[in-house]
Amino acid sequence: MKAIQFKTFGKPETLDYVDLPTPQADAQTAVVQVKAASVNPSDVKNVSGHFEHTVLPRTPGRDFSGIVVDGPQAWLGAEVWGTGGDIGFTRDGTHAEFIKIPLAGLSRKPASLSHAEASAIGVNFVVAWLGTVEYAHLQGGETIAVIGAGGGVGGAVVQIAKARGARVIAIDRHPLSADTPAGRLLDEYIPFDENVTERLKALTRGAGADVVYDSVGGVAFETALSLVKHRGRVLEISATGKRRVEFDLIDFYHNETQLLGVDSAKLGVAESAPLMTALVEGFESNKLQGPAIAQAFPLERAREAYEAVANGTRGRVVITM
């Protein structure tokens, strides 16, 4: 089979377009013919050497959509989708014509999504669901403030929160486009500037948000703490621009804030599959929508796909097989 592989860490030009043996299923695994696989910023970071646990040589890629071609009879021909913090890192990933995964990693994709759309869901929606639903237990009628709502994860949080009946306040440096699902769904927008806390408090009658999902972190961390109501929940997934932070511990414990870290990379493809399955109903009922595909590249042009993501392309970048 054709695949992308890197043997040393570096820029996208370290990726080679190679021939590798086509994987074979066994009693515990299935083989998926990959139809499309998105490129995430974490894939680019993986190739650059950002993750210490990556084992070389390696085929990268976390997200995928495809068809089961080898494995249990009940799964043969099934259209599936998935993601995982192990594939592309400690086991070969999705930027290849075929991938071998554990049977527990199989999840049937929504019929309403094309393979390209389905391949762009995994990382963003899994970390959004994990924080919003599994950790914060966001309820209908609650208010959630989403810092970085214009990004991939932030946009997924907006959609999931609205599907659960929450009030969504988007916080970003720029207004969200009305052409995006998140832009159409949000209830309020607040610019991320020196007045953000005052404006949010005004929108919540001085109380603050029940949940703050901070997809930026680092430079936004102290702001995130200032936005949450008494006994509210703050979710952190990143540390942009600032790894170590300071905050007023007295204010923190007086407010009885719950601070939760969210790391979907800890979930392998098998652990991620139940979350992917939980998302299916939302897409099939049109409560959730796939992100815009900004660019699509054939596998042999994977370097260009990685360069597009490295350069900050807005919208999702997909490799098609």
State residue 7's pLDDT score.
98
Whether the pLDDT of residue 313 is over 90: the answer is no
State residue 286's pLDDT score.
95
CATH code, 113: 3.90.180.10
Residue whose tokens read 């990382």: 123
State residue 127's pLDDT score.
97
Residue 205 sits in the same domain as residue 250: yes
Q: Could you give the dihedral angle defined by the CA atoms of residues 121, 124, 130 and 135, in that order, rounded to the nearest 10 degrees?
A: -150
Residue 104 sits in the same domain as residue 30: yes
Q: Is residue 283 part of a domain?
A: no
Using a cut of 0.85, tell me whether the model's pTM lies above it.
Answer: yes
Domains contained in the chain, number: 2
Residue 116 sits in the same domain as residue 128: no
As a whole number, the mean pLDDT across the chain is: 97
Percent pLDDT > 90 in the chain is 97
Q: What is the pLDDT of residues 221-256, one digit of tens each?
A: 999 999 999 999 999 999 999 999 999 999 999 999
State residue 307's pLDDT score.
97
Q: Is residue 156 part of a domain?
A: yes
Residue 115 sits in the same domain as residue 129: no
Range of the domain at 33: 2-121+290-320
* DSSP-H helix ranges across the chain: 41-48, 115-118, 122-129, 152-163, 181-185, 196-203, 221-227, 249-255, 269-284, 302-310
Residue 149 sits in the same domain as residue 201: yes
Whether the pLDDT of residue 291 is over 90: the answer is no
**Is the alpha carbon torsion for 245, 246, 249, 251 positive or negative?**
negative
Q: How far apart are CA 93 and CA 59, in angstroms?
A: 5
Whether the pLDDT of residue 165 is over 90: the answer is yes
Whether the pLDDT of residue 24 is over 90: the answer is yes
Residue 102 sits in the same domain as residue 216: no
Residue 226 sits in the same domain as residue 244: yes
State residue 169's pLDDT score.
98
Q: What is the pLDDT of residues 255-266, one digit of tens each?
A: 999 999 999 999
Residue 91 sits in the same domain as residue 174: no
